[in-house]
Amino acid sequence: MIQFILLDIEGTTTSIAFVHEVLFPYATQHLAKFVQEHLTDPLVKEALHSVKETVLLETNQNINDQEAIQYLLGWIKEDRKHPALKKLQGYLWRKGYETGQYQGHIYPDVLPAFERWTKAGIDLGIYSSGSVGAQKLLFGYSEAGDLNSFFRAYFDTQVGHKREVESYRQIQKALDLPAESILFLSDVEEELDAAQGAGFQTVQLLRPGTTKGAKHQSTSNFDEILS
């Protein structure tokens, strides 16, 4: 019996295009100016220090603040999940949401499913490579309204990468539920493989552009899941 549904965001509840065509360009447009104007801000100082440490470790080069900014902009293009970049993006995205520059995209079948599952006594949670802060912003300022009240838990890469079995074991431990009672929904087959390896049940979401895998149950929308 399913007691908890764990959801991916990008390509599952939300269009991949929203992240890559709205959020990433917004961060790219505003990051350099924000960092340059807030060099003494603890958030910015910590982020730049982290970038410099990473570059030194990976390239054996010492870089200055301006060069660190260029690395951050490059990492946006690469969609690199660096902690410093995620923190800065989260801060910038908050400004965009709060000022009405955009709303979080949510597929039309998502809210009715959340309501149906919650009514059935099933708890919901999010596991995304985006930071927990970014997750809460997207759902808090979504096109369907503030959806954060539906979620019991949020997880990001602090528990581990999404294609590693151990990450899902950590989530199961945090939820304190039998693995087989947790259903993971994602569009990415490798993530579903890892979740299944930890004993989770799985369903692949076939949103526009998704490549259908052969190992997991699949559906094109939430209407058919535990209906």
pLDDT reading at 227 higher than 80? no
How would residue 209 be classed by pLDDT, with cut points 50, 70 and 90?
Answer: confident
Residue 208, phi then psi, degrees to nearest 5:
-50, 125
Q: Spell out the residues 6+ positions from residue 44 whose beta carbon is closer than 8 angstroms to its own.
A: 34, 35, 38, 88
* Predicted pLDDT at 14: 97
What is the DSSP pairing of strand 151-155 with strand 4-7? Answer: unpaired
Residue 136: what residue type? Answer: K
pLDDT reading at 97 higher than 80? yes
Q: Cα dihedral sign for 105, 211, 225, 179? A: negative
3-state DSSP assignment of residue 60: coil
Q: Which domains does the chain have, with CATH numbers?
A: 4-14+105-224 (3.40.50.1000), 19-98 (1.10.720.60)
Do the beta carbons of residue 54 and residue 13 sit within 8 Å? no
pLDDT reading at 200 higher than 90? yes
* Predicted pLDDT at 77: 94
Distance of alpha carbon 227 from alpha carbon 224, whole angstroms: 5
- When the pLDDT of each residue in the chain is averaged and rounded to a whole number, the result is 96
Work out the percent of the chain whose per-residue pLDDT is above 70. 100
3-state DSSP assignment of residue 6: strand
Do the beta carbons of residue 217 and residue 34 sit within 8 Å? no
pLDDT reading at 184 higher than 80? yes
How would residue 219 be classed by pLDDT, with cut points 50, 70 and 90?
Answer: very high
* Predicted pLDDT at 80: 92
Quick: pLDDT tens for 6-15.
Answer: 999 999 999 9
Quick: pLDDT tens for 115-143.
Answer: 999 999 999 999 998 889 999 999 999 99
Do the beta carbons of residue 184 and residue 199 sit within 8 Å? no
Quick: pLDDT tens for 27-57.
Answer: 999 999 999 999 999 999 999 999 999 999 9
Is the pTM higher than 0.85? yes
pLDDT reading at 1 higher than 90? yes
Q: What is the CA radius of gyration of the chain?
A: 18
